[in-house]
Amino acid sequence: MPKVRTIDLIEKFNLELVSGEEGVNRPISMSDISRPGIELAGFFAYYPAERIQILGKTELSFFEKLPQDEKEIRMEKLCTDITPAIIISRDLEVPEELIIASERESVPVLKSPVKTTRLSSRLTNFLESKLAPTTAVHGVLVDIYGVGVLIIGKSGVGKSETALELVKRGHRLVADDCVEIRQEDQDTLVGNAPELIEHLLEIRGLGIINVMTLFGAGAVRSNKRITLVISLELWDQNKQYDRLGLEEEKMKIIDTNLTKYTIPVRPGRNLAVIIEVAAMNYRLKRMGLNAAEQFSNRLTSAIEYSDQEEL
């Protein structure tokens, strides 16, 4: 099932359909946009026909200087059976040769009043968002002091209860139980809730609650960039847990490595406060303030000073 079709662009950007109506359901598989200037000059050896084509003032001004027979040939080659759409920017007049060729191959020809560069930028941003690699993770996503924290762990470990406590402390819920994640850039992961369970939180023994209804619109948000992963696991007395924080564990989601903290769960531990502090400490580390490294350096200096005193 294609994620984006030409009809989606028409509706999203309010584009005018000029010709090629039969092709409005063509799938769009690439976020790259093409301005076929060199193709209009006659070089089609590397023509990216699967991309959306944009014709602006430069391309059409050159096209008008071509002989009539060349105009027809160029437009016939421009319209292929896999071209999603050809968009004319700046509300420029659509060449008759393009209309004829597009009707023959059912390639939608669209018009927009927006300038070429701005239109290309808007289309690229929209398509990159829609065509980005996606996955789903079982967990809870919360916005804590501007840090997108993905809380994961086995079922029943207390993820939703911790999220509820965080919401009561003024933070914002993004998704509970299932987090849909898309990679919008090389190192940018954005998470959101499936539409069916948006703003909902499941608390065992209580059932489903609507966070926005109970706590207000300020307690939720629709999506958030994920920068930190908190893994909750039941306390294992035989396991050695990190007590200094000098080494950062990583978790890979799609193609992005995220910082991961493993927090053991046992009675008496306030998980919401611990996760809140973890988010603040993560921000401090990104600002260059690492308490664990400072302590390690002070300890090393103290040991070296002690050795010198003995000598």
In order, the DSSP letters of 185-228 are ETTEEEEE--GGGTTEEEETTTEEEEHHHHH-GGGB-SEEEE-E
The pLDDT score that the predictor gives to residue 246 is 65
Task: Mark whether 91 and 182 lie in a shared domain.
Answer: no
Minimum mean pLDDT range among 34-43, 257-266, 295-304? 295-304
CA distance 158 to 274: 14
Task: Mark whether 123 and 26 lie in a shared domain.
Answer: yes
Task: Mark whether 283 and 141 lie in a shared domain.
Answer: yes
Task: Mark whether 122 and 29 lie in a shared domain.
Answer: yes
Mean pLDDT value of segment 200-207: 89
Minimum mean pLDDT range among 137-146, 195-204, 295-304? 295-304
The pLDDT score that the predictor gives to residue 269 is 82
Of the residues 94, 115, 131, which one is the last residue of a structural domain?
131
The CATH number that applies at residue 21 is 3.40.1390.20
Domain contains 72: yes
Provide the H-helix boundaries in 216-290. Answer: 271-286
Q: Give the model's confidence band at 70: pLDDT under 50 very low, under 70 low, under 90 confident, else very high.
A: very high
The pLDDT score that the predictor gives to residue 69 is 92
Task: Mark whether 124 and 263 lie in a shared domain.
Answer: no
CA distance 47 to 34: 9
- Whether the pLDDT of residue 1 is over 60: the answer is no
Tell me if 37 is assigned to a ligand binding site: no
Domain contains 295: no
Number of structural domains, the chain?
2
Domain contains 298: no
Q: Give CB contacts under 8 A, 24+ apart, made by 71-74.
A: 71/95, 71/97, 72/97, 72/100, 72/101, 74/39, 74/40, 74/42
Q: Residue 68 corresponds to which tokens in the numbers above?
A: 């009539």
Task: Mark whether 158 and 279 lie in a shared domain.
Answer: yes
Q: What is the mean pLDDT of the chain?
A: 90
Task: Mark whether 125 and 143 lie in a shared domain.
Answer: no
The pLDDT score that the predictor gives to residue 228 is 95
Of the residues 131, 157, 191, which one is the last residue of a structural domain?
131
CA distance 117 to 275: 44
Q: Give the model's confidence band at 288: pLDDT under 50 very low, under 70 low, under 90 confident, else very high.
A: confident
Percent of residues, the chain, with pLDDT higher than 70:
95
274 with 282: CB under 8 angstroms? no
Task: Mark whether 40 and 56 lie in a shared domain.
Answer: yes
Residues 177-194: tens digit of each pLDDT: 999 999 987 788 999 999
- Spatial CB neighbours of 116, under 8 Å, sequence gap ≥ 6: 35, 54, 56, 57, 58, 89, 90
Residue-number span of the structural domain to which 106 is assigned = 6-131
| Active site (catalytic) residues | 138, 159, 177, 243
Mean pLDDT value of segment 217-233: 94
Of the residues 77, 100, 131, which one is the last residue of a structural domain?
131
Tell me if 158 is assigned to a ligand binding site: yes
Biggest CA-to-CA distance, the chain: 96
Q: Give the model's confidence band at 311: pLDDT under 50 very low, under 70 low, under 90 confident, else very high.
A: low
Instruction: State pTM to two decimals.
Output: 0.75
239 with 213: CB under 8 angstroms? no
Task: Mark whether 112 and 232 lie in a shared domain.
Answer: no
Task: Mark whether 94 and 49 lie in a shared domain.
Answer: yes
Domain contains 310: no
Tell me if 154 is assigned to a ligand binding site: yes
Tell me if 155 is assigned to a ligand binding site: yes
Domain contains 18: yes
Domain contains 294: no
The pLDDT score that the predictor gives to residue 244 is 66
Domain contains 51: yes
Which of the pair, 305 or 103, is modelled with greater confidence? 103
Mean pLDDT value of segment 234-251: 77
CA distance 121 to 118: 5
Task: Mark whether 89 and 175 lie in a shared domain.
Answer: no
The CATH number that applies at residue 212 is 3.40.50.300
- Whether the pLDDT of residue 150 is over 90: the answer is yes
The pLDDT score that the predictor gives to residue 309 is 65
Task: Mark whether 101 and 247 lie in a shared domain.
Answer: no
The pLDDT score that the predictor gives to residue 205 is 86
The pLDDT score that the predictor gives to residue 113 is 95
Domain contains 68: yes
201 with 209: CB under 8 angstroms? yes
Tell me if 159 is assigned to a ligand binding site: yes
The pLDDT score that the predictor gives to residue 284 is 87
